[in-house]
Structure 1
Amino acid sequence: MTVTVRDLRSGAPADLEGFARVRQAALPFLLVTPDSLAHDLAHLHPDARYRPLVAVADGEVIGTAQVHLAHDSAAPGQGNLNVYVHPEHTRRGAGTLLVNAAEEHLAAHGATRLLAWVLDEPGNRAFAGRHGYRASRSAHFLRLDLANGALPPLQDPPPGVELRPASAFAADPRPLFELDAETTADEPSDVDTEFTDYQAWLAETWRHPLFDAGLTTVAVVDGRPAAFSAARTDGGTRYATGMTGTARAHRGRGLAKLAKNDSLHRARAAGYTEAFTGNDTGNEPMIAINKWFGYEICGTEVRYVRELG
């Protein structure tokens, strides 16, 4: 049974559905839908050189790769490739074919340092090692049972603080862009990220089909966003936190915790039954906060790095 690798075709529903199906089977902790894949293909910045790949056998998508340059990093030459094969179709060479095609694409566009997230399982880690990658930082996936779990009670915001949905900023979301840029810059990562392109943020984040402005909660101080918890939803029963953070000038006041609790309560009221989030394994304070909400670690991934040249 021959396995071939080719580009994901945005105009082919079977490709989009197959890509989403493989990702959900291999990595059930992240939200992905055919619509979100089509949006990424249409709107990711051209400098990202985004090229999603699929491995196909007998007309069925059995493996996927998300491939792009870290164009929003201050350090040039960094490329990302995240390869996942359906658990029922491993050991058929699909992973190696996807890695080879992804590396060739990134190298052709100037990448000298390649980064890949790998599930923290012996077979996956051995696969990365055989392809010349070395282990770096790690991160946890966490899950919360919204339907049956007990959330902390809602708390009134302190004096001078107001909780608003992100949809209240629909007429001018730039203050949310500025807050997102500041908090993202302080996130632990192998790649320093700088959000400087407002129009790109509007296309890739604000208008993304998974982003839920109605369930995203913003803590506002003196009329300006000071903290937020960004919500993503799949249109079904699953909710995920895209980012939770606080402006540097307002940290230490519990505002992000307040915003996240509000968002989780509203998500449960809207009928969502599962909530997901992720944390760097070294981010003990945020892990402790998420456990306070009732989240439990449900998986771990390791960042693997390969230097080219």
Structure 2
Amino acid sequence: MTTIRPATPADLAAALDIYNAVYPDHAETLEETEHFLAGLRDNPLQPHVQDWLAEVGGRPVGTARLWQAPWMFHPDRYHLELAVLPEFRRRGIGAALFGTAQRHWQGRGAREVLAGAKETEADALPMLERRGFREVMRFFDNVLRLNGFDAAQWEAEMRLPEGVRAVTFADLQTELGEEAAWLAYYACQTEARLDVPRTAPPSEVALADFRNYRSKATFDPAGVWLAVTEAGEVVAMSELWRDLTNLERLNIGLTGTRRAWRRRGLGLALKLRGMVQAQQHGIREIWTSNASNNVPMLALNDRLGFRRQPAHVECQWGRAEDCRA
């Protein structure tokens, strides 16, 4: 017998085991998931989050989460994540979880829900289409095997324009002091993220939330490369995050440049420094994710030797009006 019930904090580990089994390329530790949920609870926007657990004979076999993202927030926009263990699929469990989540968002008056699946998941995407979702964007995981990366071929691209130097965030903190370094890093990220392709407009992220997100164990100040002018302004950035489920892998966060400094090769020069650094530390793989309409970044990653994985297809039900802070 299958039962669907609201999940409790005591169910978090079991739900995470299901998620990690279904999405091993994006596996998380319990500590990471707890940090993420605490960030939602503490966010001043008070985003909604609700989890459910599907059980068969008392065994957890499926999970769903309906939540709101503070970084692209609208009070009527929700995100749905759903996972069922492969050996328990085609028994109506996914449909039951979806129906439970759907009744919940209808009760809250949702006007938009975003959900998705890998293009290789034969059942998930048709299920979403039958329920009124339509494809709005694709995201590719791109993987670089560092044993084939030759930094010597990129020496020219690693040079920065006169008056700009590369420094890690860890070193910038030593130079400027912690508070000034955080403000400089935040100012660059705040502008650079505005033009990142996404399925909804970005909303403002406060400095406190920016710092809180980077207080988790995957953040490495020495893995954040910044381009700094003689005036001390951070004008470009490239982040490498630890992967706590695979210590031979790093994940690229945001690589971006402030608008006035674009088309000077700053992002590429910083990204290359991170790749060299990773190689020197014995890292075997670097992963990044890019939207299908981010053609320049996809082309650059192709040049660097990244290999595209099957796309995540993001689908949308309804549409909330843009809500900007």
Task: Give the structure-1-normalised TM-score.
Answer: 0.88
Deviations for 1:158-184, whole angstroms, at most 9, x for unmatched residues? 322211222235512122222222122
Output the amino acid matched with 2:20: Q
Question: How does 1:76-155 map onto structure 2 within 5 Å?
Answer: 76-121=75-120, 122-146=122-146, 148-153=147-152, 154=155, 155=158
Question: How does 1:162-181 map onto structure 2 within 5 Å?
Answer: 162-170=165-173, 171-172=178-179, 173-181=182-190
Q: CA deviation at 1:89?
A: 2.8
Output the amino acid matched with 1:41: L
User: In the alignment, which residue of structure 2 is the partner of 1:161?
Assistant: 164
Return structure 1 stretches of 4+ with deviation > 6 angstroms.
none
Q: CA deviation at 1:31?
A: 4.7
Match of 2:279 among 248, 251, 268: 268
CA distance in 2, matches of 1:104, 1:176: 42
* RMSD of equivalent CA atoms: 2.4
Q: CA deviation at 1:131?
A: 2.3
Q: CA deviation at 1:125?
A: 1.2
Q: Which has the larger radius of gyration?
A: 2
CA distance in 2, matches of 1:88, 1:202: 40
Output the amino acid matched with 1:274: E
Structure 1 residues 57 and 265 mapped into 2: Cα distance closer, same or farther (>3 Å)? farther
Report if aligned partners of 1:233, 1:240 keep a CA contact under 8 Å in 2. yes
Deviations for 1:50-92, whole angstroms, at most 9, x for unmatched residues? 2344333345443333421244446542111122223333223
SS at match of 1:229: strand
Does 2:293 align with 1:282? yes
Unmatched tracts of structure 1, length 5 or more: none
Question: How does 1:1-309 map onto structure 2 within 5 Å?
Answer: 1-9=1-9, 12=10, 15-44=11-40, 45=43, 47-73=46-72, 75-121=74-120, 122-146=122-146, 148-153=147-152, 154=155, 155-170=158-173, 171-172=178-179, 173-203=182-212, 205-222=213-230, 223-235=232-244, 236-307=247-318
Output the amino acid matched with 1:98: L
CA distance in 2, matches of 1:60, 1:156: 56
Output the amino acid matched with 1:212: D
Q: CA deviation at 1:190?
A: 1.8
Deviations for 1:131-170, whole angstroms, at most 9, x for unmatched residues? 2211221121111113x22144353433222112222355
CA distance in 2, matches of 1:24, 1:151: 33
Structure 1 residues 86 and 139 mapped into 2: Cα distance closer, same or farther (>3 Å)? same
Q: CA deviation at 1:297?
A: 0.6
CA distance in 1, matches of 2:280, 2:87: 36
SS at match of 1:29: helix
Q: CA deviation at 1:8?
A: 5.0
CA distance in 2, matches of 1:66, 1:212: 28
Unmatched tracts of structure 2, length 5 or more: 321-325
Q: CA deviation at 1:191?
A: 0.6
Task: Give the structure-2-normalised TM-score.
Answer: 0.84
Report if aligned partners of 1:17, 1:33 keep a CA contact under 8 Å in 2. no
Q: CA deviation at 1:96?
A: 2.0
Output the amino acid matched with 2:140: H
Output the amino acid matched with 1:213: P
SS at match of 2:228: strand
Q: CA deviation at 1:262?
A: 1.0
Q: CA deviation at 1:280?
A: 0.9
Output the amino acid matched with 1:247: R
Q: CA deviation at 1:93?
A: 2.7
SS at match of 2:167: strand
Output the amino acid matched with 1:129: E
Q: CA deviation at 1:276?
A: 0.9
Report if aligned partners of 1:29, 1:276 keep a CA contact under 8 Å in 2. no
SS at match of 1:210: coil
CA distance in 2, matches of 1:220, 1:88: 52
Matched-pair identity in %: 26
